[in-house]
Amino acid sequence: MSEGIPLIGDRFPEIEVSTTHGPKKLPDDYAGKWLVLFSHPADFTPVCTTEFVAFQKRAGEFSALSCELIGLSIDQVFSHMKWVEWIKDNLDVKITFPIIADDGRVAELLGMIHPGKGNNTVRAVFLVDPQALVRAVLYYPQELGRNMDEVLRMVKAIQIADKQKVGMPANWPTNEIVGGDVIVPPPGDETSAAERRKLYDCFDWWFCHKKLGG
């Protein structure tokens, strides 16, 4: 693993945490599953509340991808519990995923502390695969709520890329050039470069695409 913040390709660090669902060991308790770990600046704040509702509204879609959600902020467990209770009572949304209660130790380890904002955490997202490897990292500033459809798209796209050994174009599945197609990896030699045009739709030998699953 690299020094400092976990980077793409690193193994997610082993951490024991307290959550609203009891103690957990990361990443071991999520072995064999995908995990989206996300931090928020603080409980009982408006933008964070909209984010938690948005994540919960898509919880079934994440679950269908064998992907678990877990939140985090530098707040105590009872604060998380009261906030979740408030969301249920006032917005009629039951938060079903756990939230890590952090004293700052986990946030420091994962590079989540917002510069110049005291102990507030940035809006970070770590996508961890079933082998406990970090596959993607996102950081948003405190004033900007995340787009949960993009987080969901990220999970879907990386799973497809892994399974089919392809690249995923910008804005997939509605790319401006290839639509819902996926990108064929570049050829390894001149012979395969020449053959690709017979097998795939190509703009050139280095830029070929195909239907998903094709």
Q: What is the CATH number of the domain that holds 20?
A: 3.40.30.10
Residue 35 CA to residue 54 CA, distance in Å, equals 17
> Domain range holding 204?
165-214
Sign of CA dihedral 25, 29, 32, 33: negative
Q: What is the pLDDT of residue 211?
A: 96
Residue 135 CA to residue 176 CA, distance in Å, equals 25
* End position of a domain, from candidates 93, 113, 146: 146
* End position of a domain, from candidates 146, 180, 199: 146
Prediction pTM value? 0.93
Assess contact for 73 and 40: CB atoms under 8 A: yes
Assess contact for 154 and 136: CB atoms under 8 A: yes
160 within some domain: no
- Give catalytic residues, as residue numbers: 48
Burial of 136 from C-beta contacts in 10 A (0-12 / 13-18 / 19+): middle
Q: 133-136: which pairs have CB atoms within 8 A and are 24 or more residues apart?
A: 133/9, 133/10, 133/11, 133/12, 134/6, 134/7, 134/8, 134/9, 134/10, 134/11, 134/12, 135/8, 136/8
Domain shared by 32 and 101, yes or no: yes
Domain shared by 180 and 208, yes or no: yes
Mean pLDDT per 10-residue interval, the chain, length 214 residues: 77 96 97 96 96 98 98 95 98 98 92 76 94 96 94 98 97 97 93 90 95 86
Q: Which residues contact 152 (CB under 8 A, 6 or more apart)?
A: 58, 61, 62, 65
7 within some domain: no
Nearest alpha carbon to residue 36 among 156, 116, 120, 144:
156
Domain shared by 39 and 105, yes or no: yes
Assess contact for 35 and 150: CB atoms under 8 A: no
Q: What is the pLDDT of residue 73?
A: 92
